[in-house]
C-alpha cells in the first residue's frame, strides 16, 4: 500500500513539475475550447453574416407606383448600417455593369443584382393580370454570382430568400391573404432547448483532455521507462509490480479528474455553458473513459520505439480521431470506409455518452454500446500490455 502511494506521489509530482505535461493537460484543452467557442459560436449567427451586394437599378419611371424604388428600399432596410443587416449594399450605374461583374469575379463583392428596364411596368402588368385571374409571367431580376465561391453562393441564396419576403409583402399589399398554417417542431434526443456550441463541444473537450492525458502522460513515460530500463530496475527490487501499475495509473486518473473539474468550472463559469457538469453519471462514465485511454496509452508506450516517436505518433493520430468522434462537427453522411473508423473509435462513444450524461443531447449510439466498445478497448489493451510486459521478461 505504501509503495503504491509512493508511486502515485512520485509520478504525480513529476508531471506537475513538467511544463510540457502541464501544457497538454491544462493549457491545450482550455485553449482549444476557447478557440472553438470563439469561432463557432459567432460563425454565421445574425450580426456576423454580411454579404457585399451591388444593386444596379436600370428601371425606368412608369406611371403608377414606383415598384423598383420599393424594392431598393427593401434591400436598403436589410443593409448596413441597419440593425441585423445581412447585406452591405453598393448602388452602381448600368454603364458600370462590367466593373460590377469584375468585382464579383475577383471577390470584392459577392453578387450583383440588376433590376431590369421594364421592371415597373412589368410588375404593374403582372398585378393587373393576376387581379383578372390570368396567370402573368414572373418579372425576372437577374442575380449574377460565382457559384464556385462559397460566399457568393450564400449571397445568392440570401437574395432569393429576401425576394420571397418581398413577394409576400407585395401579395399582402394587394389583398391576398396567406392561409394560416400551424408550425410545430420537435427535436429528437433533445434534453435541453437548442444547445449552444459551447454546450455542444464541452463534452468533447473533456474527452480530448482525458485522451491527451492517456496518450501523452502514459505512453511516453512507459516508452522512456522501457528505454532506460527503469521497469527492470523496479523488477529487481522486492516491490510488487502491481503497486507500480496501480500507483502510476492512479496518478494519471487523478490528473484526469482534476482536468474534469477544471474544465467543468471553466466551461460553466467562464464560457457560460449550461451543462450538468456535476452529475454523478457523467463523472463515473468519464472515469471509465479515462481508464480506457490510460490503457491505450500503455499499449502505445509498449509499441513505440522511444518517447519522441510517441509524440510524433500522437500528433498524427490525434486530429483524425477527434474529427471522427464528432467532437467539433456532427458526423453525417460518411462513406462506409470512413464509418468503420467511427464505429471503432472509442472517442466517439465517450463523446456520445458524455453528451447525454451532461444533459446536452441524447446519445446517438445506445448506451450499452457506449460501454461495450470502449470496454473492449480497455480489456484488449490491458491484455496486450500484460502479454508484452511478460514477453519482455523472457
Partner 1 sequence: MVKSHSQMKNFFELVRKSFYMFIRDRQATIMIFISPIVFMLIIGFVISGISGGTTSVNVKVAAYTSNSSNYEQLFKKAAEKSGIEPIFVKDKNDVKKLVNSGKVQMGISLESSTVTFFYNQSFGQYNNYLKDLQSFIVQAIREEISGIPMYIQIVPNSLKTGSSLTVISFIVPGILAIAIMMAGVFGMATTLGTYRENGSLKRLRTTPLNGSLFVFSIALNRFWSSILSSYITVLMSEWIFSTNYNINWPLFSILMASAVFMSLGFGTAFSVVFKDLWTILNFSTIVLVIMMLFSNVFYPFSIMPEYMKVIARVMPITYFAQGLRYTLGIAPVYLWKFTLINIIFAFGGLLMIVLGGKAIFYLEKR
**Binding to partner 1 in span 27-86, by CB under 8 A:** 28, 31-32, 35-36, 38-40, 42-45, 47-52, 71
Least Cβ distance, residue 255 to partner 1 (angstroms):
17
Least Cβ distance, residue 235 to partner 1 (angstroms):
29
Our finding on whether 338 is near partner 1 (CB under 8 A) is: yes
Distance (Å) of CA 378 to CA 155, 215, 327, 390: 49, 14, 21, 18
Size of the site for partner 1 (CB under 8 A): 113
Our finding on whether 138 is near partner 1 (CB under 8 A) is: yes
Nearest one of 292, 294, 307 to 218, comparing CA atoms: 294
Least Cβ distance, residue 250 to partner 1 (angstroms):
25
First to last CA, the chain: 28
Cell match 441564396: residue? 157
CB 209, CB 29: distance < 8 Å:
yes
Our finding on whether 15 is near partner 1 (CB under 8 A) is: no
Compute the residue count for the chain.
Answer: 394
Least Cβ distance, residue 5 to partner 1 (angstroms):
29
Nearest one of 1, 5, 2 to 247, comparing CA atoms: 5
Instruction: List CB contacts of 50: < 8 A, sequence separation 6 or more.
Output: 80, 85, 86, 87, 88
Concatenated DSSP letters of 259-314: HHHHHHHIIIIIS-----TT-HHHHHHHHHHHHHHHHHHHHHHHH-SSHHHHHHHH
Considering only residues 56, 72, 299, 324, which one is a binding residue for partner 1 as defined by CB under 8 A? 324
- Helix, strand or coil, per DSSP, at residue 360: coil
**CA torsion through residues 67, 68, 74, 77, sign:** negative
Nearer to partner 1, 13 or 45 (CB): 45
Residues 164-223 contacting partner 1, CB under 8 A:
164-168, 170-171, 176-191, 194-197, 200-201
- Helix, strand or coil, per DSSP, at residue 133: coil
Nearer to partner 1, 194 or 390 (CB): 194
Least Cβ distance, residue 329 to partner 1 (angstroms):
6
Our finding on whether 336 is near partner 1 (CB under 8 A) is: no
Our finding on whether 160 is near partner 1 (CB under 8 A) is: yes
Considering only residues 65, 161, 241, 366, which one is a binding residue for partner 1 as defined by CB under 8 A? 161
Our finding on whether 153 is near partner 1 (CB under 8 A) is: yes
Considering only residues 56, 155, 210, 277, which one is a binding residue for partner 1 as defined by CB under 8 A? 155
User: Residue 121: is it exposed, middle or buried by C-beta count within 10 angstroms (0-12/13-18/19+)?
Assistant: middle
Distance CA 116, CA 123 (A): 11
Considering only residues 10, 261, 312, 387, which one is a binding residue for partner 1 as defined by CB under 8 A? 312
Which of the ranges 133-141, 222-230, 247-255, 264-272 carries the binding residues for partner 1, by CB under 8 A? 133-141
Our finding on whether 348 is near partner 1 (CB under 8 A) is: no
Our finding on whether 390 is near partner 1 (CB under 8 A) is: no
Nearer to partner 1, 91 or 362 (CB): 362
Nearer to partner 1, 196 or 268 (CB): 196
Nearer to partner 1, 126 or 385 (CB): 126
- Helix, strand or coil, per DSSP, at residue 88: strand
Distance CA 288, CA 8 (A): 19
CB 37, CB 201: distance < 8 Å:
yes
CB 274, CB 202: distance < 8 Å:
no
Which of the ranges 227-235, 272-280, 292-300, 358-366 carries the binding residues for partner 1, by CB under 8 A? 358-366
Our finding on whether 285 is near partner 1 (CB under 8 A) is: no
Amino acid at each position: 500500500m505504501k509503495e503504491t502511494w509512493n508511486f502515485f506521489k512520485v509520478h504525480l509530482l513529476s508531471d506537475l513539475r513538467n511544463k510540457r505535461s502541464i501544457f497538454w493537460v491544462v493549457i491545450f484543452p482550455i485553449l482549444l475550447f476557447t478557440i472553438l467557442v470563439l469561432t463557432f459560436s459567432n460563425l454565421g449567427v445574425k450580426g456576423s453574416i454580411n454579404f457585399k451586394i451591388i444593386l444596379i437599378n436600370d428601371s425606368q419611371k412608369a406611371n403608377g407606383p414606383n415598384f423598383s424604388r420599393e424594392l431598393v428600399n427593401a434591400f436598403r432596410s436589410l443593409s448596413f448600417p441597419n440593425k441585423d443587416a445581412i447585406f452591405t449594399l453598393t448602388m452602381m450605374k448600368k454603364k458600370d455593369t462590367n466593373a460590377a461583374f469584375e468585382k464579383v469575379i475577383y471577390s470584392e463583392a459577392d453578387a450583383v443584382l440588376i433590376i431590369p428596364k421594364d421592371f415597373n411596368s412589368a410588375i404593374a402588368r403582372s398585378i393587373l393580370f393576376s387581379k383578372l385571374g390570368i396567370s402573368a409571367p414572373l418579372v425576372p431580376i437577374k442575380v449574377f454570382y460565382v457559384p464556385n465561391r462559397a460566399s457568393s453562393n450564400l449571397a445568392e441564396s440570401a437574395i432569393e430568400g429576401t425576394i420571397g419576403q418581398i413577394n409576400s409583402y407585395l401579395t399582402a399589399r394587394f389583398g391576398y391573404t396567406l392561409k394560416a398554417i400551424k408550425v410545430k417542431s420537435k427535436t429528437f434526443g433533445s434534453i435541453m432547448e437548442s444547445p449552444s456550441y459551447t454546450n455542444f463541444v464541452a463534452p468533447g473537450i473533456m474527452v480530448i483532455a482525458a485522451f491527451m492525458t492517456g496518450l501523452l502522460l502514459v505512453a511516453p513515460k512507459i516508452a522512456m521507462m522501457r528505454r532506460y530500463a527503469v521497469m527492470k530496475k523496479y523488477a529487481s527490487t522486492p516491490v510488487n509490480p502491481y503497486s507500480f501499475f496501480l500507483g502510476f495509473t492512479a496518478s494519471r486518473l487523478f490528473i484526469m479528474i482534476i482536468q474534469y473539474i477544471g474544465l467543468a468550472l471553466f466551461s460553466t463559469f467562464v464560457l457560460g455553458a449550461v451543462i450538468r457538469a456535476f452529475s454523478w453519471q457523467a463523472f463515473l462514465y468519464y472515469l471509465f473513459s479515462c481508464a480506457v485511454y490510460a490503457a491505450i496509452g500503455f499499449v502505445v508506450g509498449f509499441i513505440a520505439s522511444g518517447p519522441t516517436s510517441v509524440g510524433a505518433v500522437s500528433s498524427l493520430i490525434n486530429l483524425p480521431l477527434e474529427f471522427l468522434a464528432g467532437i467539433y462537427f456532427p458526423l453525417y453522411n460518411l462513406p462506409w470506409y470512413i464509418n468503420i473508423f467511427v464505429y471503432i473509435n472509442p472517442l466517439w462513444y465517450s463523446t456520445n455518452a458524455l453528451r447525454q450524461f451532461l444533459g446536452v443531447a441524447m446519445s446517438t449510439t445506445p448506451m450499452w454500446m457506449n460501454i461495450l466498445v470502449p470496454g473492449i478497448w480497455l480489456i484488449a489493451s490491458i491484455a496486450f500490455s500484460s502479454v508484452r510486459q511478460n514477453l519482455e521478461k523472457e
